[in-house]
A and B are shown apart, each in its own frame.
Chain A
Amino acid sequence: MKNINIKLIGLVFLMALALGSCKKWINTDLNVNPDAPSDVPMGSILTGVQANMAYNTIGGNDLCRVTSIWMQYFQGIARQSQSTANYYLLPSDINNLWVTNYTNTMMNLQTIIAKATSAGNPTYRGIADVLMANSIGITTDFWGSIPLSGAFQGVANLTPTFDAQEAVYIEIIRYLDDAIVELSMEGAPSVDGDVMYGGDPALWLQAAHSLKARYILHKSKLDANTWTQALAALGGAISSNANDLEFTFFDAAGSQNPLYQFMQQRGDITMAKVFIDTLNLVRHDPRLPMFATAVGDTAFVGNGWGEVSGDVSMPGNAVAAAASVVPFVTFVETLFMQAECLYKTNAPVEQVRAALIAAVTASMEKWGADYTAWMAIYTQYINFASGAPLYKEIMTQKWIALYNQAEAFNDWRRTDNVIGLQANPLTSAQQNVIPRHYPEAQSETNYNPNTPPDINLWSRVWWDAQAPTK
């Protein structure tokens, strides 16, 4: 009896051992995460990219707030913003911007481009190309040489080389030229998930033209033909304020404008004395109540260098309301580029003046300013301007109109401060001049040995060369 027991149990035991390698139990299909899809439609990626660009890159606090402090729209009065005003910006400070830009934005745009190409949808591809050109443009304008030709390859290339900015700019124009072709195609299939232009290829085509002009214009220090080329690109550019490429936020938790959220959750910045006094004391600009909040009922006050008062004007509804838009490229910018190009290509002065008035008018209308009376006086004033003062006025008005947009920083660099901003005299930073470059991101330096060393805040990108070629 006992022996039978042992044999029986031995048999059961062996059966159980065999179970151990049972395929049913160890099924590696169980290792597929049920809470994350492995493939998604292009439209759902596009929405996320647009939101990321608006919130993290173009309208984001690491790009806009920093340059707005340097461009003296804002004053940093506490913590990191105060350091920014003192011209300290650490590799770790801009790491989030670099990483989200490469991954959440550009890698996802690459994914859309690949999907659109294989699906044969030129509209998706065109939209992705426009946004890609814009993203590459921002990246190279702040960091100079950047990984591009070897980028976005995952483990296949863990250490992409940095391409020179000259080569990167060729790519930007190529993306935009491709986009112009793709967005011009007749009968292209429609797209979903475009929360900026509702999938309208004609509007994207206008944005592509405006961006192309912008990126041509960036090379103005290097090449005298820039103005003519940019003027050509402006044909077909954004044709009204309503057609601006901009991202609209909403007043609901988790949907609000990035600067609004920053002011709510961090504070640390106020309006700068330079911008407030220019608009208030010098120009009596009717846009000021949109640009800044009043102290008391009507007083507009900005913090000067080293001042840290919390009881001054704060960023206003034009840029810091919960539902304020984040512009990518606008009709106003287009008109200012037009005015600048006309001036630089020696167009008749009346035409230049008219272009400037048109640009300023568009900006007034964009913010709903009550400008009629002011414009009458301003037009008289402009009609006396010509030559260098007229150019300075164009660029000064552009600086005002592009309030809290990083493009103002590009203009400031490529015009070598034609508008005459003064640097912070109180800083203990290494140099008492306004920075021109972002430091390399901490994570890229850590994990990519090709990251250029010796970059600091006063390094210059290729198009910002020290000695103008002129």
Chain B
Amino acid sequence: MRKFTLILAILLLAGLQGVFAQTRVISGTVTSSDDKQPIPGVTVVVPGTTIGTNTGMDGKYVLAVPTKYTSITFSYVGMKTKEVALGTATSLDVVLDNDVMNMDEVVVTAIGIPRETKALSYSVQEVGADDIMKAARTDAVNALQGKVSDVQIINSAGVAGGATYVQIRGVQSITQNNQPLYVVDGVPISGSETGGIYGVDGVATSNRNIDINPDDIETMNVLKGGAATALYGLRAASGAIVITTKKGKATPGKKISVNFNTYVQFDKVSMLPKMQNIYGQGHEGKWYSGDRLTWGAKNDTMSLSKDPSVWNTWKDFDVAGANVSNNSSVAKDGAVQTYNPYDFFQTGVTTNNALSLMGGTDVSTFYFSFSDNQSKGVVPNNKFRRNTFRLTGDTKIGDHFKLSGSANYMISGGDRIQQGSNTSGVMLGLLRTPNTFDNSAGYELSTLAPTGTYERSYRHGRGYDNPYWTANKNKYSDQINRLIGNVQIDYYATKWLSFTYRLGIDWWGRKWNDQLNKYSATAYPDGWNRDGQETSKDMNSDLMMNIDKDFAKDFNLKLLIGQNMTQQYYKGLQANANGMVIPEYYNLNNGTTISAFTTTSQIRRAAIYGDLQLSWKNMLYLSLTGRNDWSTTLPQGKNSFFYPSVGLGWIFTELPGLKDNKILPYGKVRISYAIVAKDASPYNTMTYYNTPAVLDGWTTGLVFPWNGNNAFALSNNLGNNQLKPEKTKTFEVGADLKFYQNRIGISYTYFKNKGQDLILSVPIAASTGYSTTTLNAASMTTYGHEVTLDIVPIKTKNWTWDILVNWSLIKNNVDALAPGITKLFLGGFEGSEIDAFAGQPYRTIYGYDWQRDSHGNLLIGDDGYPMMTNDMVGLGNVDPKWTAGIGTNLKWKDLSLYLLFDIKYGGMMWNGTRGALDYFGTSQGTANRDEWYTFQGVNSRGQSNTVPVKLDYFWRTQNVGSGFTGPMVDYVENSGWVRLRTVTLSYSFTHMLKKTFIKGLSLYFTGTNLWISTKYQGIDPETNLLGASNAQGIDYFNMPGTRSYTVGLNLAF
């Protein structure tokens, strides 16, 4: 690093030369050719220098230009850029033309390089600040939902501060991370999810992209394919989300602009599993206090009784009385009541306040923002809070140097709630509770129960926690302090040559505390207190040389050569005190066993890259890139690798015969091919020893040091010192057409990715002595079609109506895994798995089926019941067949209505919740327990089954008639949906306030998920137990999703 400091010093010194040069003052007005009105905010610059300004509110500018420069460029979003030669005159008025076809639209591409959209040989899609603001989501990435094709976004949990899974163009890696790279102003940041990750239990934590204040974002651009990300290299092998933040702007006549955005949001649980309330607690038709099941008597045949003969031992639990038959002599305390479990949920409230100040002069600009986001979840005591501070500034040093930088400080964190397959899981406790037991009638007892606990729950304080107990007694909280900073220095050597150096640091520290009450009905005796601290430091350095030169006639060359160095470092320290001695004293000194451990991860990479773009007559664009990476995670000799890309774009409407035609003024075809390589995760090249995990899969096991003895065991993961980089070859072809003054736009892309030597952690037969190893073994093919249709049916003075449709279809096929391995466990439970299968689409649901004949009919036994298979089979694919987003914006004067429909067609999910509840007898599906039912199928003689049976206690709990005891097949459900993802009604008061100091005022109402249509029989199927992991498609007592209502106000002055 010291070397770079030196380089910076040299660069700075070199820049002081131009300060004393002779200048002349140019001034004038910029107007629009359309309405002859002046345009404020036009960027006026001397090319190849830092010299520049902006036009004021009156469209006027004044600029001092050294005499040696001969031209000025004028640019403005939505207008065609104009370069004007300087003569002797000091007054220069300029007229800009409307860029109806967006020919000069610029997007930020890899490494933060701005490029004209028309020059790209791949598809890009962008979401702007207004869309992000009105989506009103705590995690800005959610604003991409339905707006960008080929991007799948899944909120993993309906909790405040939950993680978001983002997948661009399917998956690239089998077992490695498939999350895109997040890049803020050219600097990659850490987007990892921390704490409780990839487990079926615990709490839902955030991933780190939640730390970004959505109001700081100017644009979010999605780089999808290999050609788009080739220059980023391996970290963006799964695509990149390129975030450009808001910057200050020099506005003559105005020092500071203030923007204030505030909203309040109310969340309600949306879909919930349907429950029965006909039968009460107990089994075999009888009531038993504390019974695990709801296979008891019909509630209308039962009465309450507080008679001491039946209500004594468990009266603290059955507070309303024991349940007795209506005919009983002690049935004297009224009818049995039933309770709605969903009364547990509350209305979640989020308030978001964001304030920003920006301003500047011709020399320096700044942007400062502060935001406060506070969420209260639908589950009591679930909270999330985020505060962010951001300061961005730039200053010009002389005519050739620009120094810019930003510092972003964030504090986020919250109180998280236990969920999933977890004896403290809220939904688990809530839904397994019989309808005759009132969880809300107290969760804590004043005297110790005969079962040795102070917890009041339906199983006498054992088994599962009362959800109220969980929400109040088992606390998990975390806090993140994060600082993202970057500095950038640009040197404009000549009109065609510039250098850039950029250094970014992303540092975060997270501390968390996990408390499990001594009296919780948990798998872990006597509870625990666990404390953790994590630190992550990411460093990224880029040094680039840029050439942009017209040569010969009609030729332009753009060349970028760069060098990159990155380091990602993580260190975690965790200490566990297990077995609380003093109840509710949460300290590490309060355990019967206390243990601590550290985890480290360090990766360094270096790269040299080049990007050459050659264009001819603004018609043909050829681009070539190449990148060589060095990585520490691969063995010496295999850790240097090169990969290229090539792309061609042809704007065929520039051909003489087609140019300036009215029907199709713009048409482009593009084609590209790229190779992207990716290294391994760290520490996979050797076999280590670990502290033994003595766990039998049923209990919490032994913890070392054990009785004063420490131990080590050879790791079950076999190291591989032959690893090499994995490669994905991408082919992409597409076309962009714009008809009739850009009133209709169609964009189509076909892509095909072929991944080879994919690195995967593979299970191997335990008889080898190990259970997993890392191999370069898998191959995968992904192809897809994406179509974007952009129509503006109405565009008049008062009315605008536009429609944007995104449609994408992706097929992911696992061609091969590893030798001898046809199936790979991605996540879930044994027997109810999400797997990768060779020859099948990625993410197959795998489990037991019913036995069937060759025609697929159920085989029915002589007793009238179907039978379970002995082996597991594939039962469906998690990923949808296609997805679409349909957004429409109708605008009348200052009132606008935006609707976004989100369609997911197909895709399966395991409804493990319903499977378990059919066992417990609480689900709607068990209400028919006394009715005769005949299974459709054939008996052993090949005849149609006619034996009527009951789907009763014995079938559901003693036999294979539930998801708990039987095959998973009946609980694999279509999770497709059509939903009204967003509806926003907004009104702008800006015109009314024209004469005041207020520059803008708008009021908006946004509804999220107001309407969902799905066949899924449970909570909102946009969910996943395993958070932002590769194993999607699991619903096992997941937290329910929410629908939200937001009112927001945006004020600018």
Contact check, B767 vs A21: say whether CB atoms are below 8 A apart: no
Tell me the smallest distance from the CB of A259 to a CB of chain B, in Å: 9
**Is A55 part of the contact surface with B, judged by Cβ < 8 Å?**
yes
Residues of B within 8 A of A82 (CB): 958
Residues of B within 8 A of A155 (CB): 718, 720, 768, 773
CA distance A235 to B149 in the complex (A): 78
Contact check, A12 vs B767: say whether CB atoms are below 8 A apart: no
Residues of A within 8 A of B690 (CB): 36
Tell me which of A37-45, A215-223, A281-289, A393-401 binds B: A37-45
Are A37 and B579 CB-contacts (below 8 A) given A48-B704, A104-B716, A159-B820?
no
Residues of A within 8 A of B605 (CB): 26
Tell me the smallest distance from the CB of A146 to a CB of chain B, in Å: 8
Contact check, B706 vs A51: say whether CB atoms are below 8 A apart: yes
- Closest residue of chain B to A111 (Cβ to Cβ) is B714
**Interface size of B by Cβ–Cβ distance < 8 Å?**
112
Residues 156-192 of chain A, each 1 if its beta carbon lies under 8 Å from chain B, else 0: 0111100000000000000000000000000000000
**Is A242 part of the contact surface with B, judged by Cβ < 8 Å?**
no
Residue in B579, B608, B720 whose CB lies within 8 Å of A20? B608
Tell me the smallest distance from the CB of A434 to a CB of chain B, in Å: 19
List A residues 132-156 near B (Cβ within 8 Å): 146-147, 150-155
Tell me which of B76-84, B271-279, B346-354, B492-500 binds A: B492-500
**Is A78 part of the contact surface with B, judged by Cβ < 8 Å?**
yes
Residues of B within 8 A of A40 (CB): 689, 712
Residues of B within 8 A of A346 (CB): none
**Is A118 part of the contact surface with B, judged by Cβ < 8 Å?**
no
Residues of B within 8 A of A264 (CB): 525, 699
- Closest residue of chain A to B865 (Cβ to Cβ) is A428
CA distance A37 to B706 in the complex (A): 19
Residue in B283, B593, B830 whose CB lies within 8 Å of A308? B283
Q: Which of B593, B830, B863 has the most CB of A within 10 A?
A: B830
- Closest residue of chain A to B699 (Cβ to Cβ) is A261
Residues of B within 8 A of A8 (CB): 10, 14
CA distance A232 to B196 in the complex (A): 56
Residues of A within 8 A of B7 (CB): 12, 16
CA distance A111 to B631 in the complex (A): 32
Residues of B within 8 A of A442 (CB): 830, 872
- Closest residue of chain A to B863 (Cβ to Cβ) is A428
List A residues 424-454 near B (Cβ within 8 Å): 428, 441-444, 446-449, 451
Contact check, A2 vs B714: say whether CB atoms are below 8 A apart: no
Residues 462-499 of chain B, each 1 if its beta carbon lies under 8 Å from chain A, else 0: 11000000000000000000000000000101100101
Tell me the smallest distance from the CB of B713 to a CB of chain A, in Å: 4
Contact check, B689 vs A47: say whether CB atoms are below 8 A apart: no
Tell me which of A91-99, A359-367, A372-380 binds B: A91-99
CA distance A146 to B766 in the complex (A): 11
Tell me the smallest distance from the CB of A69 to a CB of chain B, in Å: 14
Residue in B524, B565, B700, B770 whose CB lies within 8 Å of A19? B565
Residue in B499, B600, B699, B872 whose CB lies within 8 Å of A265? B699
Tell me which of B334-342, B680-688, B1013-1021 binds A: B680-688
Are A446 and B11 CB-contacts (below 8 A) given A20-B608, A20-B630, A108-B713?
no
CA distance A87 to B30 in the complex (A): 87
CA distance A193 to B710 in the complex (A): 9
Contact check, A36 vs B715: say whether CB atoms are below 8 A apart: yes
Contact check, A103 vs B769: say whether CB atoms are below 8 A apart: yes
**Is A258 part of the contact surface with B, judged by Cβ < 8 Å?**
yes
List B residues 677-705 near A (Cβ within 8 Å): 682-683, 685-690, 692-704
- Closest residue of chain B to A4 (Cβ to Cβ) is B14
Residues 596-613 of chain B, each 1 if its beta carbon lies under 8 Å from chain A, else 0: 011110111111100000
Residues of A within 8 A of B579 (CB): 252-254
Residues of B within 8 A of A28 (CB): 632, 634-636, 639
Are A447 and B593 CB-contacts (below 8 A) given A31-B683, A103-B770, A255-B706?
no
Tell me which of A56-64, A414-422, A462-470 binds B: A56-64
Residues of B within 8 A of A443 (CB): 763, 765-766, 771
Contact check, A56 vs B694: say whether CB atoms are below 8 A apart: yes
Residue in A22, A97, A99, A446 whose CB lies within 8 Å of B606? A22
**Is B75 part of the contact surface with A, judged by Cβ < 8 Å?**
no
Residues of A within 8 A of B707 (CB): 195, 250, 252, 255
- Closest residue of chain B to A31 (Cβ to Cβ) is B632
Residues of A within 8 A of B463 (CB): 267
- Closest residue of chain B to A62 (Cβ to Cβ) is B696
**Is B850 part of the contact surface with A, judged by Cβ < 8 Å?**
no
Residue in A33, A83, A154 whose CB lies within 8 Å of B965? A83
Contact check, A252 vs B830: say whether CB atoms are below 8 A apart: no
Residues of A within 8 A of B718 (CB): 154-155
**Is B153 part of the contact surface with A, judged by Cβ < 8 Å?**
no
- Closest residue of chain A to B762 (Cβ to Cβ) is A447
- Closest residue of chain B to A77 (Cβ to Cβ) is B292
Residue in B524, B688, B706 whose CB lies within 8 Å of A36? B688
Residues of B within 8 A of A255 (CB): 593, 702-703, 706-707
Contact check, A154 vs B711: say whether CB atoms are below 8 A apart: no
**Is A86 part of the contact surface with B, judged by Cβ < 8 Å?**
yes
**Is B436 part of the contact surface with A, judged by Cβ < 8 Å?**
no
**Is B95 part of the contact surface with A, judged by Cβ < 8 Å?**
no
Are A258 and B699 CB-contacts (below 8 A) given A110-B769, A155-B773, A264-B525?
yes
Residue in B595, B711, B770 whose CB lies within 8 Å of A45? B711
Residue in A158, A253, A449 whose CB lies within 8 Å of B764? A158
Contact check, A96 vs B696: say whether CB atoms are below 8 A apart: yes
**Is A17 part of the contact surface with B, judged by Cβ < 8 Å?**
yes
Tell me the smallest distance from the CB of A66 to a CB of chain B, in Å: 11
Residue in A48, A92, A101 whose CB lies within 8 Å of B712? A48
Are A6 and B593 CB-contacts (below 8 A) given A107-B769, A254-B700?
no
CA distance A281 to B232 in the complex (A): 78
CA distance A97 to B958 in the complex (A): 25
Residues of B within 8 A of A252 (CB): 579, 592-593, 707
Tell me the smallest distance from the CB of B936 to a CB of chain A, in Å: 20
CA distance A428 to B600 in the complex (A): 51
Contact check, B713 vs A151: say whether CB atoms are below 8 A apart: no
CA distance A345 to B822 in the complex (A): 53
Contact check, B767 vs A448: say whether CB atoms are below 8 A apart: yes
Contact check, A447 vs B821: say whether CB atoms are below 8 A apart: yes
**Is B262 part of the contact surface with A, judged by Cβ < 8 Å?**
no
**Is A298 part of the contact surface with B, judged by Cβ < 8 Å?**
no
Residues of A within 8 A of B964 (CB): 79
**Is B425 part of the contact surface with A, judged by Cβ < 8 Å?**
no
**Is B1012 part of the contact surface with A, judged by Cβ < 8 Å?**
no
**Is A388 part of the contact surface with B, judged by Cβ < 8 Å?**
no
**Is A458 part of the contact surface with B, judged by Cβ < 8 Å?**
no
**Is B959 part of the contact surface with A, judged by Cβ < 8 Å?**
yes
Residues of A within 8 A of B292 (CB): 78
Tell me the smallest distance from the CB of A168 to a CB of chain B, in Å: 12
- Closest residue of chain B to A17 (Cβ to Cβ) is B563
Tell me the smallest distance from the CB of B717 to a CB of chain A, in Å: 10
For the complex of A and B, the 10 pairs showing the least CB-CB separation, nearest first, are: A253-B579, A254-B703, A147-B767, A107-B769, A36-B688, A48-B711, A448-B765, A261-B699, A48-B692, A102-B766
List 29 contacting pairs A-B, 8 Å CB cutoff, sorted by A. A9-B493, A16-B3, A21-B606, A21-B608, A28-B639, A36-B683, A36-B688, A36-B715, A44-B712, A47-B710, A55-B701, A56-B696, A95-B830, A103-B714, A104-B716, A107-B769, A147-B765, A154-B773, A158-B764, A160-B768, A252-B592, A254-B702, A264-B699, A265-B699, A265-B700, A443-B765, A447-B764, A447-B820, A448-B767
Where the two chains meet, the residues of B that have a C-beta atom closer than 8 Å to any C-beta of A are: 3-4, 7, 10-11, 14, 17, 283, 290, 292, 462-463, 491, 493-494, 497, 499, 522-526, 528, 543, 545, 561, 563-565, 578-579, 591-593, 595, 597-600, 602-608, 630-636, 639-640, 682-683, 685-690, 692-704, 706-707, 709-716, 718, 720, 763-771, 773, 819-823, 830-831, 863, 870, 872, 958-959, 964-965
Q: What 6 additional pairs, Cβ within 8 angstroms, besides A13-B545, A254-B703?
A: A25-B565, A255-B707, A443-B765, A448-B767, A449-B820, A456-B870
